[in-house]
Every structure is written in structure tokens, then in C-alpha cells.
Structure 1
Amino acid sequence: MTSFELIILTVAGLIAGILAGFLGIGGGTVLVPLLVALGYTPVEAVATSSLSIVITAISGSIQNWRMGYLRLNQVIGIGFPAILTAQIGVFLAELFSSRLLLFLFGCLLLLNVYLVELRKQITTRKKQQEEQQVSESTIFPNQNILFNPVFARILTGGTAGILAGLFGVGGGIIMVPLQILLLGETIKIAIQISLGVIVITAISACAGHAIQGNVLWSQGIILGVGGLLGAQISTRFLPKLSDQTVSLMFRIFLVILSIYIFKQAWIQS
């Protein structure tokens, strides 16, 4: 490993950690494309990203716990099904081509832009209803929780686990909007819960990839140490930001990243 690569990995880990705390994602959306650009295979990038995410998510979750923002019951309820489904994602990562993986990843990012916007519309209707002092159950019955809460948590965690194993992400990229839509959480609470669940999904995915011999331990630890610092920074500032600001940051990030991912998929041989 060259000195230049060491610097790049450290800086990338720092950026991923900041995104983890602000947006409730593991940071793999940044790390996987970077590792591929550095010459590692897609499977190695996915596996190594999972190791880094373990370190980053633990750091951010500890900070949230110290500040009283970590809800352990919700984290466990969503994280348990993710343990099993992460192994399904690891299996699929071995089967899919690099082009297909990148294309599906870009589609996933664009889908989440829509989900966050949909939640914004629902929230606006709720505020209007409160101003008119009309019972929420009269006009918009059960609009906050579209499914049974237990089923919603299983769906959220199970989906996140598959994404963790398949794409090398913590799963927050889908957990945040699903919590908002299915469980009625605010975006900041959804982010804080998501970061805790990512600890579980990343450990499961990393273990699965380690068994396959795909994890690059030195690179993953370097990325994780940088992410540890970044997560500490961002989790301290998240509670001070408005829901509107965080939501806007989340959507802008998804749009920019989806454009980049589709470009990478196009140039794959």
C-alpha cells in the first residue's frame, strides 16, 4: 500500500463517517466506488466496505447513546431479521456482474429520492391537519404506519440486511425512508435508529464475506478509523439541524450519487 493510497483511504473514511452520522447510512455508497477506482475487485470492495462500516457505525451509535438518542428496542427489532438476510446478500454478490450491481445500486438511490419526497408530502398534510384541529384518524387514518409495526420492522431490517451483503452498504440508504413511511418516524429519529441497526447488518455482512476470503483487513481498518472520527463529528451536529435541512441534504446526496453510479455502470466492460 502506497502513502498516496493510505491518505486517500483515510480521507474517504472520514467523509463516509460524516455521512453516516448526518444521513444514517453506513458510508458504503462512497467507499465501494472508491475501492473499485483504486483497482480492487467489486466483491473485495463490497466486503472491505462492510468492515469499515462496522467501525464507523459503532462509533456513531456510541455517540448517539451517550447523548440519549439511541432507541435500543427499535434497533433490535429492525436489526434481528437483518442478521439472516445479510447472508443472502453476500451470496448474491458472488453471482451478479459488476455492471448489474452498479445499475441496480443507481436504481435504488433514485427510488429513495422518491420515498423521502413522499414522506415530506405526508408530513405536510399532518401539519395542515393539526392546524385545523381535525382528528388524524378521521381524514388520514393510519397514514403514519401503513403496515403492522412488527411486519414493518421485519421488512425494513430484512431489506437492509440484503443490501448490506449485496452492495457493501450498512442498509441505511433504505432503512431511513422505510422507517419514515412504514413506522411514522421523523427523519432525524429514523437516522439515529438506522445507524444502530447498521452495526448489526455490517457485522453480519462482514462475517459472511470474511468466510469467503473477500475482506481486505488493512484497508478496511484504515477506512474505519477515518470513519470513526467523522461519525463523532456529525452525530454531535445532527440534533441541531432542522428536519427540512437534513431531508434536503439526504435527497441531494442521493441524486448526485445515482448519477455517478450510472456513469460507472455504463463504462463497465
Structure 2
Amino acid sequence: MDHSTIVMIALLMALAAALYSTVGHGGASAYLAIMALFSVAPDTMRPTALALNLVVAGLGSWRYWRAGQTNLKLLLMFAATAVPAAFIGGGIKVPPDIYRPLVGALLWAAALRLFWHPSLLAGREPRPVSAAVALPVGALIGLLAGLTGTGGGIFLSPLIILFGWEDARKTSGVVAGFILLNSIAGLAGNVTSMQALPAELPILVAAVAVGGIVGTWLGAGRLPKPRLLQGLGLVLVIAGAKLIFA
């Protein structure tokens, strides 16, 4: 890639990281879409997106934890089955033609629900989720995360919010940690793919780190809950479009 292309990709990824990290996401789906736009080789896209996910989700996990916005019990309940499932999914290659449109449509439906009643959802008292629900849900999301090359946050966030398992800000803290663990597992499940990481990776890492710092600074305690929910809705719209049209 020439220098101008690298700069453009880095700037777009920094913006994506800032947007996604406000709601605890790592941004893998956006990074995949950006790389596809610039015709990056498919073998390079997946490990690069997961590697960048580690940076942004790592920053988010730390900042939300420092701000007291991480429900560790809820995180561990979902991660207990999600992490091994993400490891398994990371080693499986499945044609995306079947599940991409379906998952994209589900994400758009979740986004629409969040845009319709953000104040109502933000004001609800959290209710606990049982292990009988969290463990199988975590396994399914972890498998999807491994298969798609993402951290699974776009699947977990709307479930936590829509079912009232945690409030918006602590959802971001849970999701950041969830994405970090799943991204590690997904890369480990297909460790040979790391050989395809681009030489420009340090530049991209620096770009998403800056975006992640800004986004987590805004999301950890400076945006009101309704805005966080609307931000999540926007993330889901973007991710759904990527899954359907990319």
C-alpha cells in the first residue's frame, strides 16, 4: 500500500475506534469494512481486525474497570462459555452467504428498538440473569465471534440492554472485557493467520489506540445514558450494513 492509502485507512480506523469504544466495542466489524473498501487481502483482514480489537477493547476494559463500570460477575458468566467457543470458531471457515444477511437484519432490529425508547430502557433497574441463560448465550455468541472474526460485542450488547441485565454504562464495561477475551481466543484458535498481519500494523495500532482513548474517555462517564444507547444503536446500524452489503 502507498503512503496516502495507509494514512487514509489509519484515519478511518481511528474514527471507527472512537465511535465503537464509546459503548465498549472494539470496532472489528468497522475495521473489516474499511479494509474491504481498500481491497486488503481477505487473509490479512481477519487477524488484523482481531489484533486491533485487542488494543481498543484492552483500553476500554481498563478504563471502564477504573471507573467502576464493570460488572465482573456478569462478564465471567458470559465469558465462561464464550471464550472456548470463540477458540473453536476461530479455527472454522464457514461461507458467510447464509448468516451474514440474517445477523445483519437482527442487528438492525435491535438498533431500531434502542432508537425508539432510549430513555425508557436507560431508566430501568437492572435484573440479574441466571447461569442457565448466560452460559448457552455466551457459547453461541463466542462461536459467532470466532466465526466472524469479531469480539462478539455487537451480539452481546443489545441482549444485555434489551433484557435489562445491566444498565447502559456497565454494559459497556462488560462488553469491553468480553470482546478482549474473545478476540484473544479467536486469534489463538487460528494462530497461523497471524502470519498474514501487515507490515503497517504498528501504524494502525497507534491510530486505533488514539481513537480508543478518546472514545472510552467519553463513554466511561461523560455521555448520558440515553446517548450511550443511541450510540449503540448507531454501532449496530453500521455493523448490520457491513454484514449485509460487504
Q: TM-score under structure 1 normalisation?
A: 0.77
- Specify the SS of the correspondent of 1:23: coil
The Cα shift of 1:6 comes to: 2.1
CA–CA distance in 1 between the matches of 2:61 and 2:22?
Answer: 12
CA–CA distance in 1 between the matches of 2:102 and 2:79?
Answer: 23
The Cα shift of 1:120 comes to: 4.8
CA–CA distance in 1 between the matches of 2:196 and 2:164?
Answer: 34
Counterpart residue identity of residue 191, structure 1: S
| Count of aligned positions | 245
Does structure 1 residue 28 correspond to structure 2 residue 28? yes
Find the counterpart in structure 1 of residue 101 from structure 2: 103
The structure with the larger Rg is 1
Given that residues 122 and 226 in structure 2 are in contact (C-alpha distance below 8 angstroms), is that contact kept between their aligned partners in structure 1?
Answer: no
Find the counterpart in structure 2 of residue 113 from structure 1: 111
The Cα shift of 1:87 comes to: 2.7
Does structure 1 residue 170 correspond to structure 2 residue 154? no
Find the counterpart in structure 2 of residue 249 from structure 1: 231
Counterpart residue identity of residue 28, structure 2: G
Find the counterpart in structure 2 of residue 47 from structure 1: 47
Structure 1: runs of 5+ lacking an equivalent: 128-142, 265-269
Given that residues 17 and 26 in structure 1 are in contact (C-alpha distance below 8 angstroms), is that contact kept between their aligned partners in structure 2?
Answer: yes
Closer, same or farther: CA 216–115 of 1 in aligned 2, 3 Å:
farther
Shifted more, 21-30 versus 214-223: the winner is 214-223
Given that residues 50 and 187 in structure 2 are in contact (C-alpha distance below 8 angstroms), is that contact kept between their aligned partners in structure 1?
Answer: yes
CA–CA distance in 2 between the matches of 1:83 and 1:126?
Answer: 29
Does structure 1 residue 227 correspond to structure 2 residue 208? yes
Find the counterpart in structure 2 of residue 263 from structure 1: 245
Bigger proportion of residues as helix: 1
Given that residues 24 and 191 in structure 1 are in contact (C-alpha distance below 8 angstroms), is that contact kept between their aligned partners in structure 2?
Answer: yes
CA–CA distance in 1 between the matches of 2:8 and 2:67?
Answer: 31
CA–CA distance in 2 between the matches of 1:35 and 1:260?
Answer: 12
Identity in percent? 22
The Cα shift of 1:13 comes to: 2.9
Closer, same or farther: CA 119–158 of 1 in aligned 2, 3 Å:
farther
The Cα shift of 1:102 comes to: 4.2
Closer, same or farther: CA 214–23 of 1 in aligned 2, 3 Å:
farther
Give a deviation string over 1:132-154, Cα, whole Å, max 9, x none. Answer: xxxxxxxxxxx945xx5213332
Give a deviation string over 1:39-88, Cα, whole Å, max 9, x none. Answer: 23445322220111011111121222233323333333322212111133
- Specify the SS of the correspondent of 2:199: helix
Cα RMSD after superposing both structures = 3.0
Find the counterpart in structure 2 of residue 158 from structure 1: 139
The Cα shift of 1:185 comes to: 0.7
Closer, same or farther: CA 218–63 of 1 in aligned 2, 3 Å:
farther
Q: TM-score under structure 2 normalisation?
A: 0.83
Give a deviation string over 1:100-151, Cα, whole Å, max 9, x none. Answer: 4643452342243256468859748958xxxxxxxxxxxxxxx945xx5213
Given that residues 14 and 226 in structure 1 are in contact (C-alpha distance below 8 angstroms), is that contact kept between their aligned partners in structure 2?
Answer: yes
CA–CA distance in 2 between the matches of 1:118 and 1:87?
Answer: 36
CA–CA distance in 2 between the matches of 1:235 and 1:227?
Answer: 12
Does structure 1 residue 237 correspond to structure 2 residue 235? no
Given that residues 21 and 27 in structure 2 are in contact (C-alpha distance below 8 angstroms), is that contact kept between their aligned partners in structure 1?
Answer: no
Closer, same or farther: CA 257–80 of 1 in aligned 2, 3 Å:
closer
